[in-house]
């Protein structure tokens, strides 16, 4: 993965984390700036890592679908052309701009991953689209579960320290 792709993925992760953190900070005005900045940086790295894992997870699912596995073939990775729409969708992740538009843009980015995956694996377009969709939804559900768990643990810890 080139340095430019890593930078785009980190910017997309930063934008996604910012879109998720701003409503939280707005509801809780007592959050200190260092804590908010720390949460933002951690969120940016986590979101960037999830974005980076999407093509690799799609590739892995495609390998599981194929009866003769693809030994020695290069895995699907982000290119600057594939990652640029991801940055746009992350910029539009702010809840006030509309979750539906954000979802549609992520679908567009996923569709952009389908053609290279299909060409590299020999899967049909619909099978490759299924692999990309399952990978995207699986990663999204996993990250959301971790987010909720962390929020629950940190909320419980805050209540216990007040008692």
Q: Where are the domains of the chain?
A: 3-162
**CB-based burial label for 56 (10 Å; 0-12, 13-18, 19+):** middle
- pLDDT digit string (tens) for 120-129? 888 889 999 9
Q: How far apart are alpha carbons 133 and 87 in whole angstroms?
A: 19
pLDDT of residue 35: 78
Contacts of 160 (CB under 8 A, 6+ apart): none
Nearest to 116 by CA among 147, 150, 76: 76
pLDDT of residue 6: 84
Q: Which of 38-42, 71-75, 96-100, 123-127 holds the top average pLDDT?
A: 123-127
**CB-based burial label for 59 (10 Å; 0-12, 13-18, 19+):** buried
Contact 67, 28 (CB under 8 A): no
* pLDDT bucket at 161, cuts 50 / 70 / 90: very low
Q: How far apart are alpha carbons 121 and 141 in whole angstroms?
A: 25
pLDDT at 154 over 90: no
């Amino acid at each position: 993965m080139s340095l430019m792709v890593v930078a785009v993925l980190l910017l997309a992760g930063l934008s996604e984390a910012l879109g998720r953190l701003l409503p939280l900070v707005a509801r809780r005005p007592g959050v200190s700036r260092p804590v908010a900045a720390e949460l933002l940086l951690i969120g940016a790295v986590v979101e960037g890592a999830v974005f980076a894992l999407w093509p690799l997870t799609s590739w892995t699912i495609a390998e599981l679908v194929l009866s003769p596995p693809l030994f020695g073939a290069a895995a699907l990775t982000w290119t600057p052309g594939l990652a640029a729409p991801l940055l746009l969708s992350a910029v539009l992740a702010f809840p006030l701009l509309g979750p539906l538009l954000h979802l549609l843009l992520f679908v567009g980015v996923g569709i952009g991953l389908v053609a290279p995956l299909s060409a590299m694996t020999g899967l049909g377009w619909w099978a490759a689209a299924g692999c990309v969709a399952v990978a995207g939804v699986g990663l999204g559900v996993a990250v959301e579960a971790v987010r909720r768990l962390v929020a629950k643990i940190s909320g419980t810890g805050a209540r216990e320290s007040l008692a």
